[in-house]
Amino acid sequence: MMNQTLIDVQKLTIAYGDFVLLKDVSFQVKQGDIFIIMGGSGCGKSSLLRVLTGLTPASGGKAFVAGVDMVSASAAQKDVVMRRCGILYQSGALFSSMTVADNIALPLRQYTDYSDKMIRELVALKLALVGLAGFQDFYPSELSGGMKKRAGLARALALDPEIVYFDEPSAGLDPISSKLLDDLILDINQSLGTTIVIVTHELSSIFAIGRDSVFLDATKRSVGARGNPTELLKNPPNKTVYEFLTRGHTDAKGTK
């Protein structure tokens, strides 16, 4: 069922002690969408992602992921939701003591009753999908930064998740690797219908693959804008959004 709301964030507040990082954040992500959470450094993008993935508690509001409120859910409920999600961390977050194959096989062994042969073939397939066919026996330390990310993506895709979160996927990648990763994200989205949520401030990726977005304003500590990134660039709602989307250009358009 496409166009059904899969993530629904309502008046979410994230605070560390007395310091309020984000307040009254609300947005929805539709099933099968590619959704961008963008904003300048320190605006709370990664903290928001941590709340959505149940790693950090929020101070108020609600964050429904696949119908479960990640703010008030029990640890067991969060586990059930997170089994339907995959996450690609900035560095790939591969376990250094395991081979690439073992990294990808870990969730398959944990949560499925697939035979060893099936798991081996699934690992080979996932690696082939991310362009790393034949790298099963390599250790993470033998891979480049871009390869680690792709292997991390293969692990994130292991259980055919409904939602895949990406934390700064292009960070530290050269433009070609970054473009390849963007293409891969598009392919996965179009082929499997996977909902993609990306935390980034890389403009090239935002415009290349983003269909919907939320802009977090570090000054307001809340949502600065909502909508398709290209549309936001054409009709920026305020100067901050315009400056962000044009890498700091300031002309009359932004003051609209």
**Other beta carbons within 10 Å of 59:** 16
Cβ of residue 86: shortest distance to another protein, in angstroms? Answer: 12
Minimum CB distance to another protein, residue 32 (Å): 11
Q: Which stretch binds another protein (CB under 8 A): 17-25, 167-175, 186-194, 227-235?
A: 186-194
- Pairing mode, strands 60-65 and 68-69: antiparallel
Closest to 87 measured CA to CA, from 180, 144, 159: 159
CB of 19 to another protein, least distance (A): 25
Under rule CB under 8 A, residue 34 binds another protein:
no
The token pair that represents 39 in the structure block:
């904003």
Least spacing, CB of residue 28 vs another protein, in Å: 24
Residue from 174, 187, 231, 251 touching another protein (CB under 8 A): that is: 187
Interface of this chain with another protein, residues 106 to 165, rule: CB under 8 A: 112-115, 117-118, 121-122, 124-126, 128-129, 131-135, 138, 140-142, 157, 160
For residue 30, the cross-strand partners are: 5
CA distance 96 to 91: 12
Q: Is 1 in the site for another protein (CB under 8 A)?
A: no
73, burial (CB in 10 Å: exposed 0-12, middle 13-18, buried 19+): middle
| Closest CB to another protein among residues 41, 141 | 141
Stated length of the chain:
256
One-letter amino acid for residue 114 of the chain: Y
d(CA 205, CA 182): 7
Q: How far, rounded to the nearest angstrom, does the alpha carbon of residue 248 sit from its chain's CA centroid? A: 25
The three-state secondary structure class of 123 is: helix
Binding of another protein by 190 (CB under 8 A): yes
Residues 89-108 that bind another protein (CB under 8 A): 96-97
The binder of another protein chosen from 42, 57, 60, 193 (CB under 8 A): 193
**Contact (CB, 8 A) for 31 and 37:** no
Q: In the bound complex, what is the minimum distance in angstroms from residue 159's beta carbon to another protein?
A: 9
**Chain residues that interact with another protein, rule: CB under 8 A:** 96-97, 112-115, 117-118, 121-122, 124-126, 128-129, 131-135, 138, 140-142, 157, 160, 184, 187, 190-193
